[in-house]
Structures are given as structure tokens and as C-alpha cells.
Chains A and B, each alone.
Chain A
Amino acid sequence: GAVVSQHPSRVICKSGTSVKIECRSLDFQATTMFWYRQFPKQSLMLMATSNEGSKATYEQGVEKDKFLINHASLTLSTLTVTSAHPEDSSFYICSAREPGQRRGYNEQFFGPGTRLTVL
């Protein structure tokens, strides 16, 4: 299957700093990527849909000024957590779907995740 990478895999930062997380599709181009958040022992919650060349679409309750998303190319989307606070500590996961797939096939592939700890 397709491969999605994330960097960094783990980051620890001080409260008030900004952290950037990269999501890359390694062997395919992705016009759409997705960002999820997962708290310990919980399921994945969709935060936003990242669209190449246009603004991201945020889910209800997600602060767009806190979580900046940039999808600058067909292989890279970035999530920047601005002015991070301890409550932003979480596991962030991205996913991507190959474009051009026929509507009858829509498998998504997930990155390995980034564990963010804000002190």
C-alpha cells in the first residue's frame, strides 16, 4: 500500500512555543490529506481536511488559529500548533488518499503519528 510519513515522531516543547509537524506522501501525490488527534486510550478525532492549493477545512470545535494547516505541495502537508499549551499534548496523526481514484475505491493510508508533549 501507499506510504505516509510524519516528522518528527516525538516532540517536547515549552508552553507558549509553536511546533510544526510534517506529513508526507512518499510514493504518491495527495491532493487531500487529513489531520487527526488521539488522546490516550481514545479513538481518533478528525481535526481538519488539508487541501492542496486551498484553505483547510476544520471540524467544528477546532481552532483554526491554534492549528495552522498548510498543504503547499501534492506530497506535503504541515500542521503547526501555535502557542502550545499543556492541553495540546496529544498524538497527532495524518492520513492521505491517492487522488484520481475512482469513486468506488477510497482507501486511506495513515502516517506513524507525532507525539507532542507540552511542558
Chain B
Amino acid sequence: GIQVEQSPPDLILQEGANSTLRCNFSDSVNNLQWFHQNPWGQLINLFYIPSGTKQNGRLSATTVATERYSLLYISSSQTTDSGVYFCAVEQWETDSWGKFQFGAGTQVVVTP
């Protein structure tokens, strides 16, 4: 199956700093989503981005499908940005519509 690698595994930031999280995948994908898992376990949708670039406030994401990677940018980080960031990808086949493969995640801690 497809392999999804996220880097770095851990990231400690001072409030106000910028950062980049990376997601590499081993094969072509049809879908890619970024999530933020808060301390209570809720997965929050950040971006649906199988290709291209999107921005939402202080967050933005870019997926270069031909080179099999996606980047999540966090600018002017805040303590509420702490948590685990997951990348999940999906390949469409006859029987695997909607089956996500998650990366291992990046644990982000933003200190005051």
C-alpha cells in the first residue's frame, strides 16, 4: 500500500514563529487532507488539497502531486496551534473509495 511520511515528528515553537510541516507519499493520490488533532482528540479539517495551494488565515498548504509531497505552513504561531497535525491520502480503486492512509503525524508544541 501507499506509504505516507510526515516530518518532522516533533516541533517546538515559540509563539509568533513560523513553521513548515511536510508530507511525502509514495504513489500518486487522488485526495489529500490535512488535519489538526486537538488535545481532546477531535480531528479538525484544515485543508482538502489534492493539488495546488490554499490559504486559510494563518495557515496555508501546497500540494505538488507530481512530486508526491504536500506542505503545511503555520505562520505567527499561537499556543492554540499546539496538537498533532496529520496528513491523510487516498487512492481511488474499484473497492477503495474513501479509504484514507494517515501519516504518523507531527506533534507541535507552541510555547508562550
Which residues of A does B touch, CB under 8 Å? 1, 32, 34, 38, 42-46, 49, 57, 91, 93, 95, 97, 103, 105-110, 112-113, 115
A46 touches B104 (CB 8 A): no
Beyond contacts A106-B31, A110-B45, A113-B41: 7 other A-B pairs, Cβ-Cβ < 8 A, are A46-B99, A46-B100, A106-B48, A106-B97, A108-B98, A112-B42, A115-B41
Contacts known (A32-B98, A97-B98, A107-B33); A43 close to B45, Cβ less than 8 A? no
Is B30's beta carbon under 8 Å from chain A?
yes
* Cross-chain pair count, CB within 8 angstroms: 56
Which residues of B does A touch, CB under 8 Å? 30-31, 33, 35, 40-43, 45, 48, 86, 88, 90, 92, 95, 97-100, 102-105
A72–chain B nearest beta-carbon distance, Å: 20
